[in-house]
Structure 1
Amino acid sequence: MRDRLIFAGQLLFTLLVAAFLVVPALLSIMAGVTENYFRGISSGVTLQWVVQVWELYADSILLSFVIAFATLTLTLLVGVPAAYALHVRGGRLSRLIEEIITLPLAIPGLAIALALLLTYGGFGTFRRSWLFILAGHVVFTMPFMVRSVMAVFATIDIRTLDEGAASLGASPWRRFVDVIVPNARPGILAGALMVVTLSLGEFNLTWMLHTPLTKTLPVGLADAYASMRLEVASAYTLIFFIMIVPLLVAMQLLAEREPKS
């Protein structure tokens, strides 16, 4: 009886916390398909706000996904080999490099953006392009990829696997592709999930780096809430959910799937 009461209490607490987090999002989504938010759902249901948002911000939404997947590509190409090298080499120098790579975790996004502006802001073409935002996102998200992969390496004897493949005559490239990457798959997928999520939702750093022609989804959302009707801003939120939630669910399922032997 006591265990049932404890379970019921824990379940009730979990449901209350979930409701506290989910209800505001649901209300915002409902506002995006309501004729008049202040009159409620009785005013009628419409998709005109969603259409209006897509017409106004389609470029910003698509740019966000371009930057997110470009960020993921770069963090994979740089972060996975870096994690492998840091884990295999070891030593004081490797630990120092690891700390430098993960330093952005302790620095606010605004500070990273300011540093990039002070360093590269004078390069006009680069400053005005979306590549400038991409550079900031790579710096901001790289630690999550490196840490995720290194956490997997810490649970397996990657050095023995590497040496075994080398003793069989495999080249460094073959060892990395056929041995290291498959064993690092859980960490790579977990890192990819975090990188894409952070890149799509990052506001502070992006707000400092963007230009009127390089607005991303979070910046456009903030502009919509500040300068337009609440229904339009809520429709923007609805589009955000429609586009990002299936993507994140798919990536989560992929990360949880066991690799085939």
Structure 2
Amino acid sequence: MAKLNQIIAVEKGVKSKAQQELTGAHRDLAKPVLLSGISRTYQPKDEEGEQLPPESTRVQLQAESVLRSTAAALTRLFDVTATKDWANCEARADVTVDGRVVVSDVPVSYLLFLEKQLTELHAFIRSLPVLDASESWNLDASTDSWKTEPVRTIRTKKVPRNHVKAEATEKHPAQVEVYYEDVPVGYWTTVKFSGALPARRVNEILERVEKTQQAVKFAREEANGAEVTDRRVGDAVLGYLLGP
């Protein structure tokens, strides 16, 4: 008895062959010359008339024959696809992570859905904002965010000062140079807040997602290893559609 993964493996080839058969049949039937034949004989009006050989062209393509060959190719496709789809309804497996069954008795179609969603979720988690590692953060319950310890810094103000380079004399005024001095005028106390996540939290979620991705793949392989029952649908459908 075949297994579901074997049916899936051959389905693509069967589909490709059926498509080629159908395309070829459509192309050939569109050529009237292949479907046409003729037979002509010549008889002169009297015995002294010119004798001409008969002419004939045979029919090269029988539409009924094309229908039979097309039906045969499509029957195989109908049967393989039916076998796969019926089996997909019955093939199931548990998604187990670290010995814990996260979802039980999951059909193949949903396992495929999970695989796609987990890939997208993994990319989303990797893009999450992470707290600046150069700061020390603590969770603040009042704001439901992370905050740093207060940091006190001095606020300064530039105050002009005069530097006398040369004292005034009877002949020359004093030479004075103006410069600015930073003078402390107050203090800033700064606390930073952030809504980002600790790197540890992001890494934990990523690890869970990756483990679940592996579990879903294992479950799909297990489900696809189930034995299948051959379904004979093609004869019934095509026999009705293209039969005599």
Same fold by TM-score greater than 0.5: no
Alignment TM-score, normalising by the size of structure 1: 0.24
Question: TM-score, with normalisation over the residues of structure 2?
Answer: 0.26
Relative to its length, the structure with more strand (as a share) is 2
Larger radius of gyration: 2
Structure with bigger RCO (C-alpha 8 Å, 6+ apart): 1
Instruction: Identify, as 1 or 2, the structure richer in helix.
Output: 1
